[in-house]
Chain A
Amino acid sequence: MSEIATALGGARSDGLCTVCEVPPLGMIQIRADLGATAVRDAVAEGAGVAVPDVLRATTEQGRTLCWFSPDEVLLILPRGEAPSALSALAEAMEGHHHLAADVSDMRAVLRVEGRAVRDVLAKLTPADMAPGAFPPGSVRRTRLGQIAAAVRMVEDETVEILCFRSVARYAFDLMTEAAREGGAVGYFDREA
């Protein structure tokens, strides 16, 4: 078996926030009519995680389900569990029109940690980064500089950024630059 390589080889930078690429994860894209209760239940059963509300993510036992659009969620799980999760989904979703695809290699994930994380992101995205508007557990697909990316507020000072693998270097450099020492904004992080 060939070794799994992430887009940036686990790159890391330190500044106002720490930006690092996370080790390989498993990701399964699920598309189905999430407005139908029976379909939602089937997705939850197959994924092993409750289906999140609009713009939210749910995490259970190391698996996270992110809301992506009215008919799309992304299941993030340990890399090795992807094949079995895919067959569990196929079984649970049988009879419902759906798509479940292993897209583990499609995206890169950056983890950004630090007190200034909201300020740093607000430099790059039109999305409202105020704690009240974007509490932990929120997911927002938006624009980050020149690219599309999903931003997930994991904890109060931790954010995960999902972007296409092809633009991972751009996203990393962009975050690094925005988080460079001396660039503190001090809007959300008043102690800066």
Chain B
Amino acid sequence: MLILTCPYCGVAADETELAPGGEAHLTREGPGSDDDAFAGYLFHRENPKGVHFERWRHAMGCGKWFHAARCTVTLEVFGTYAAQVTEPPRAIRDAVSARRPGWRWRDLT
């Protein structure tokens, strides 16, 4: 069972209280973007075995979207952070580094 702490209400929310929102930090390509960029936005995902960054929504609780950094193999949660960022904050990346030295996700390390 995955338990994520909602950064907005501080509740350690059980998986059944949350709704998954897929991979985090996608750039939304809109009108005017070229086909490759749009296809990438639409279809291409990291789908990693290991460190991953995801969007989740505290659907049954405060209703807010937030981000989570976790390991897809062990379900270890490195941390959760607010939705209003375009990449994981330093503190979260440090927390991941402490547990998974040498991790890589897209161009983040």
Q: What residues make up the interface of A, taking CB atoms closer than 8 Å to B?
A: 54-55, 68-70, 72, 126-127, 140-143, 148
Contacts and interface: CB of A to CB of B under 8 A. Distances in A.
Contact of A143 (B8, B60, B63): B60
A140 B64 contact: no
A70 B8 contact: yes
Interface stretch (B9-17, B47-55, B101-109): B9-17
Q: Is the interface of B mostly helix, strand, loop or mixed?
A: loop
Contact of A126 (B9, B10, B16, B63): B16
A126 B62 contact: no
Contacts of A54: 9-10
Given A126-B14, A126-B16, A142 B9 contact: no
Q: Chain B: interface residue count, which band?
A: 10 to 19
Contacts of B9: 54-55, 69-70
Contacts of B60: 141-143, 148
Interface string B5-35: 0001111011011000000000000000000
B59 interface: yes
15 contacts: A55-B10, A55-B11, A68-B62, A69-B61, A69-B63, A70-B9, A126-B13, A126-B14, A126-B16, A127-B11, A142-B17, A142-B60, A142-B61, A143-B60, A148-B60
